[in-house]
Amino acid sequence: MRCCHADFALTEGSDRGFTLGMPTFTFGRGVLAEAGDQARELGLARVALFTDRTLAPGPLVAKVRESLTAAGVESIVFDEVEIEPTDESLQRAARFAAEARVDGYVSVGGGSVMDTCKAANLYASHPAPFMAYVNAPIGEGRRAPGPVKPHIACPTTAGTGSETTGIAIFTLRSMNAKTGIISRRLIPTIALVDPDVTASLPPMAIASTGFDCMSHSLEAMTARAFPRRLNSAQGVARPVSQGANPFSDLLGTQALKLVGEFLVRAVTDPSDEEARSEMMYAAMLSGIAFNASGCHLPHGLSYSVSGLARDWHVAGYPAGKTLVPHGMSVVLNNPSVWRHTAHAHPGRHLHCAASLGADTRDARDDDAGDVLASRVIALMKSTGMPNGLSTLGFGEGDLEALATGAEPQYRVIKNAPIDVGRDELKSMFRAALRYW
């Protein structure tokens, strides 16, 4: 590829292309009210509206439903989405979808809601045993056999970017770890990204989802470059996550600049509408970026942290069950991972640190991991994040179990810029126990 950076130079046997998928998106204040028009434009007469129990009685769902009604589109509500979905909750949603006799879907919520809606749409459109579409080697990794029904995604958090991705993540209870279903066919048809939704988000949700967004871009830009990806399928079988590529670099760089400038403001000042709006935009950019490149170690490690956490609760998230918000579980491993991977690509790690606002003028290649880790730690401190995994109650005695939970996450771990085995996983978890 002549026009791009040497990182993307093709070698013998490289795939010569990369494929980018994204929805038609509309970004701007108040655009939730366009849901009805968009549904009518898609020719939908009756839709299933997915949301969670907290959001169901609130103004965001009401706004979308009113807009659908005004456009003559009937909506039936499914509000049983589980926050941090499981195989069981996805199957419940899929049963609802199969019986709902709808011609399209609208999701109003965070990643949990949008992911549940994507999975329900897939299983209702192409019925199959649950593990058929789940990522291999945990599931069969079967490709979605055809198009799914139109989906209008309305994110209400500023972080996952799920409104732009072909990914649905859930916890597989039998393994106590997260995995997912991934297909370009799951990318929502339309995304309505309305920063006004963030007004009601509690500070810890802004912080956690903001770090999810940050990590999506950091991982997209430090992933194995696409010509060297391990899954070499091409054409329509080309994987959704193809490794770092020029387009992900472009969007990721801009998203990191926004995170560096606006995350702390968005968390610490609830009246700062500009900061929240910029974070909403950054989340969307990061979503498009990591959908095309894939995540790697911070997400791979986070899946066993969220699966193994005991007795951890965060204000603004459903009470009554142990829950480490996704973005929190991801950022807790971040500094440790960057110290471990930077030697593979110091220039990229330094570029990420500089985009996030670190002063890299005197930094040498050997400093790259520390420079990026320090910038992430500074953001964690300023936003009230826990000081490493030990704050959640993890210790030396949990390292084996944490590594065991992370090891099967091949899809993301093999996308890392370096090869890691069980010993490296353990040492990254050890270094993530405490940061300051």
Beta carbon nearer to Fe ion, 165 or 189: 165
Does 15 interact with Fe ion (rule: CB under 5 A)? no
Beta carbon nearer to Fe ion, 61 or 213: 213
C-alpha 188/C-alpha 183 separation (Å) is 11
Does 55 interact with ligand NAD (rule: CB under 6 A)? yes
Helix (H) or strand (E) holding 179: strand 177-182
CA 121-125-127 angle, to 5 degrees, is: 105
Does 300 interact with ligand NAD (rule: CB under 6 A)? no
User: Of these partners, Fe ion, ligand NAD, none, which one is at the site of residue 157 (CB under 5 to 8 Å by kind)?
Assistant: ligand NAD
DSSP state letters, 15-83: -S-------EEEESTTGGGGHHHHHHHTT-SEEEEEEETTTTTSHHHHHHHHHHHHTT-EEEEEEEEPS
Amino acid at the residue 1: M
Beta carbon nearer to Fe ion, 38 or 329: 329
Helix (H) or strand (E) holding 190: strand 190-193
Beta carbon nearer to ligand NAD, 242 or 360: 242
C-alpha 350/C-alpha 341 separation (Å) is 12
Question: What is residue 137's three-state secondary structure?
Answer: coil
Choice from 64, 68, 83, 353 touching ligand NAD (CB under 6 A): 83
C-alpha 113/C-alpha 79 separation (Å) is 9
Amino acid at the residue 124: A
Interaction residues for ligand NAD, span 239-298 (CB under 6 A): none
> Site mask, ligand NAD, residues 111-150, x = CB under 6 A?
xxx-x-----------------------------------
User: Of these partners, ligand NAD, Fe ion, none, which one is at the site of residue 324 (CB under 5 to 8 Å by kind)?
Assistant: none
What is the nearest approach in angstroms of Fe ion to the Cβ of residue 219? Answer: 9
C-alpha 288/C-alpha 211 separation (Å) is 16
C-alpha 12/C-alpha 288 separation (Å) is 28
Choice from 212, 219, 278, 398 touching Fe ion (CB under 5 A): 212
> Site mask, ligand NAD, residues 160-199, x = CB under 6 A?
xxx--x-xxx---------------------------x--
Interface contacts to Fe ion, rule CB under 5 A: 212
Q: By the criterion CB under 6 A, which residues form the site for ligand NAD?
A: 52, 54-55, 83-85, 109-113, 115, 156-157, 159-162, 165, 167-169, 197, 200-201, 205, 209, 212, 317-318, 326-327
